[in-house]
Amino acid sequence: MITIEAEQFSAELAAEILPLAQKSWEESTVFKKESCAYFGDRDFTLQPDIGRYVELAEQDSVILMALRDEGVLRGYALGLVYRSLHHKTIIGGIGDLIHVELEYRPYTAVIVEKFEKEMKARNVEIIGWPTHINGPVYELLKARGYVGDDIVMEKRI
C-alpha cells in the first residue's frame, strides 16, 4: 500500500533518506553537467549535517513528506520553514530536498501538493525551490504555478 504522509524528521529517518539523497545527487550530476560549480568533481558521497537537521526539526522548522510503499521509503520532499530576513512579517519555506524513485515518479505531484499543504498549515506564505532548469522538478513546479524569480550563481573558491 502506498502512503504519502508527513513524518517527523529524526536521525533514524535520515538514515532511510540518505541512500535516496545520494541517488538524487548522482542523477542531478547528469542533467547539470558543466552548469554546476562542482562539474567534474561531483562523484563524492553526501555527508549531510544530520544533527543540524534534527535541531531544526526540534524547533518545528522541518517539513518532511514521505512516500512509502509497504512501509519502505520510496520518495520524499523535505523543506525548511523560516522567518524572512528581508520581510520580518513573512514566514517563508524552502524546498531543500526532493527525490522520488523512478517507478514512483507519477506520485511526485502528490508529494509536492501535500508538502505545500503542510507549509500552509505552518503559515508559510511563499515557498522557494532551488531547482535546475534541466531537472525533472522544474517542469512540475512550473505547472503548479511556481515562477523563476532569481537564479543562484555558484563559484567554488
Residue 9 CB contacts under 8 Å (≥ 6 apart), including other chains: 53, 54, 56, 57, 62, 64, 78
> What grid cell was written down for 67?
512516500
Give the helix ranges, DSSP H, for 33-157. 50-58, 108-121, 136-143
The Cα–Cα gap between 33 and 42 comes to: 10
Domain residue ranges in the chain? 2-143
At 42, the pLDDT band (50, 70, 90 cuts) reads: low
Q: Find cell 519502505 and name the residue.
A: 72
pLDDT of residue 148: 87
| pLDDT above 90 as % of the chain | 71
What pLDDT, on the 0 to 100 scale, is given for residue 100?
A: 96
pLDDT digits (tens, 9 = 90+) for 2-31: 999 999 999 999 999 999 998 887 777 665
pTM, two decimal places: 0.89
Check residue 131 and give its pLDDT.
87
Summary mean pLDDT of the chain: 90
| Rounded CA separation 61/81 (Å) | 5
CA dihedral 131, 137, 138, 144 (to 10 degrees): -120
Please name the residue that has the C-alpha cell 505552518: 122
Burial of 15 (0-12, 13-18, 19+ CB in 10 A): exposed
> In percent, how much of the chain has pLDDT > 70?
89
What pLDDT is recorded for position 136? Answer: 83
pLDDT digits (tens, 9 = 90+) for 80-105: 999 999 999 999 999 999 999 999 99
Q: What is the pLDDT of residue 81?
A: 98
- What CATH code is assigned to 2-143? 3.40.630.30
Query: 64 to each of 43, 149, 156, how far by Cα in Å?
Result: 26, 24, 30
Q: Looking at this protein, which amino acid is placed at residue 140?
A: L
Per-residue pLDDT band at 155 (split at 50, 70, 90): confident
> Looking at the predicted structure, is the pLDDT value of residue 138 above 60?
yes
